[in-house]
Amino acid sequence: MREERRDVVVVGAGPAGSVTARRLAECGLDVLMIERNQEIGVPVRCAEGVNRGIEDIVHLDRRCISASVRGARIYSPDGTAVEVESARERVVGYVLERRMFDRFLAAEAANAGADVWVKTAAKGVMKDDNGRVCGVYACHMNETIRIRADVVVGADGVESKIGEWAGMHTKLRMRDMAICAEFMMSGVEIDDEYCEFFIGSFAPRGYAWVFPKGDGCANVGLGIGADVSADNRRAFDYLTQFVESRFPSGKVIAEMYGAVPLSGPVYETVSDGVVLVGDAARQVNPISGGGITYAMRAALIAADAISHAFEAKDFSKQQLHEYERRWRKEFGHHLEIGLKAKEYFLKMPASRMNKLAHSIAARGPVKLKNLNSVSMLKEFIKRSPSILIDLARIMTLMSERKWK
């Protein structure tokens, strides 16, 4: 059997994998990134929205941006709109062109010195005599090979196998996942400067979204709780009903399907010789389902921790725990709050949700210094403390933990 030897093998060429590979290569390490699909960026399984915080991580190629947005509108079950904008900036985020974006990030990794193999699927992890992971088995161009590495980075998405193969507990409960369907549509009349979110019975245990893509096109999708999905209640069926009522004249030009982990940061993300990043590490905000920026921030932290492990010549779980500690400190509290808020809102009756929206919308657009889910929740509490007393207690608890 053919064998390769690298310092690090990164499994998965999405944003988490490519940013990790790029930074590690910049640190002078011998990095191989493998991707099971024959084309990076395909298929797209994403609503493609990100906030401007992404610019702190990577200098975006303008070809990767479909639309710039100035805010969001959140619609309650009775159609009341809560408008959220930045108090400081006109542009608060972007709707990406994920095919271009993923290829751009992979090219950056390659230009930094990482090798990139497509059509290469990981089939298992290699372990040494002490049971520590020391590489992966992969199928590359119909050939089974061994890729030995001191560290394996699992960036293989929501369906990640790396952690499971390494003996880590990463299995998701059905209630901790959303099943999503999305249509890219043309001929839709929307406000190109706002992303829209719709909460109601048409998306049980979830919500629908409309993200502008420019030129009269939009990503129209929804996610439902995996625990309520059934043969006659698929995300596709709910989305079809939503589109028929909202955009009867629109034309579907592409369809996308996938799953999103909404468990919050409940699992370990390191083991001996293994680091998990992005969706594989469940680094997704449970209330919004957004994970691109979190994945990329985690990737930078992971690369630093792995680089330090090489300096120490120690690839143990204890050494790699630097990554776990740092990412939880940097943004783990956002995921914790998102999880608590998600459960709170899912239990809220539609009548109470409408009352909340009326209360918030009556005071005009919500203007935030930092447009993120935590800042938005804090402002909602200020505007309607009587309704959100339980959520306020959650936020207070998080503050008492001294998370910033």
Distance between CA atoms of residues 259 and 114, nearest Å: 29
Q: Which CATH architecture has domain 174-261?
A: 2-Layer Sandwich (3.30)
CB of 306 within 8 A of CB of 6?
A: no
Residue 289, pLDDT > 80, answer yes
Q: Which residue has the tokens 């389902």?
A: 289
Domain ranges of the chain: 2-45+98-171+263-332, 174-261, 339-400
pLDDT of residue 395: 58
What values do phi and psi take at 315, rounded to 5?
A: -115, 25
Confidence of residue 304 (pLDDT cuts 50, 70, 90): very high
pLDDT tens for residues 350-391? 998 999 899 899 999 999 877 777 788 888 878 877 666 666
Q: Is the peptide bond before 385 cis (omega within 30 degrees of 0)?
A: no
pLDDT of residue 124: 97
Distance between CA atoms of residues 192 and 176, nearest Å: 32
Looking at residue 70, its amino acid is: R
| CATH fold for domain 2-45+98-171+263-332 | FAD/NAD(P)-binding domain (3.50.50)
Q: The whole model's pTM is what? A: 0.93
Confidence of residue 46 (pLDDT cuts 50, 70, 90): confident
Report DSSP state, residue 192.
T
pLDDT of residue 403: 38
Most confidently modeled range among 47-56, 313-322, 328-337: 313-322
pLDDT of residue 404: 36
